[in-house]
Amino acid sequence: MKQYRFTGEYECRLDAKGRLKLPAAIIKQIGGDENLRFTVNRGFEKHLMLYPNDVWEMKTREINQLNIYSTQQRQAIRYFYRGATELEMDAAERINLPGSLLEYAGIDKDVVLFAYQNQIEIWAKEKYDDMMGQEPDEFAAIAEEVFSRIKPLDNPDDSSQ
């Protein structure tokens, strides 16, 4: 599987048919023509998640390890797959987002793509702005708690060691 390192926030607009033109920076980060297919599904909050198909395959392998005989895990499986739709980028570098998913996420026209790791969140611009405007006062304490658990990676580019 290709290693993706998406990064950035991109303001976009859907056309009248619900098509989203992917920003040139994201197309560049995808690289090449080998992965013009994506899968979109519901995010954990009221937004959408967009994955290159090889990343989607990896995510489904993770989800498929859950136990279908456990009510909670079965519900998680259902929610994860609910609305999942395979998309193909057209020649104009657009993807056509399903109306049911746009309705779920409250997306009308203006969107923000929040790209990180190997996935891209698609938000209604107003909801994204609201969420980002609600940074907790104790963010420094939260960051300390969360990030202090992560073991630092060796930095091969750091010649000062």
Domain that holds residue 86: 6-133
The number of folded domains in the chain is 1
Tell me: the pLDDT tens digits for 89-116? 998 999 999 999 999 999 999 999 999 9
pLDDT of residue 156: 54
Tell me: the pLDDT tens digits for 21-61? 999 988 888 876 555 789 999 999 999 999 999 999 999 99
Residue 68 has pLDDT above 80, yes or no: yes
According to DSSP, the β-strands at 48-52 and 119-124 are antiparallel
Tell me: the pLDDT tens digits for 8-24? 999 999 998 889 999 99
Residue 147 covered by a domain: no
Residue 157 has pLDDT above 60, yes or no: no
State the CATH number of the domain containing residue 78. Answer: 3.40.1550.20
Residue 85 covered by a domain: yes
pLDDT of residue 52: 92
Residue 1 covered by a domain: no
Residue 50 covered by a domain: yes
Phi/psi class of residue 50: alpha, beta or left (left: φ > 0; alpha: ψ in -120 to 50)? beta
Residue 149 covered by a domain: no
Q: How far apart are CA 107 and CA 48, in angstroms?
A: 9
Residue 81 covered by a domain: yes
Q: Does the reported pTM lie above 0.75?
A: yes
Mean pLDDT of 70-94: 94
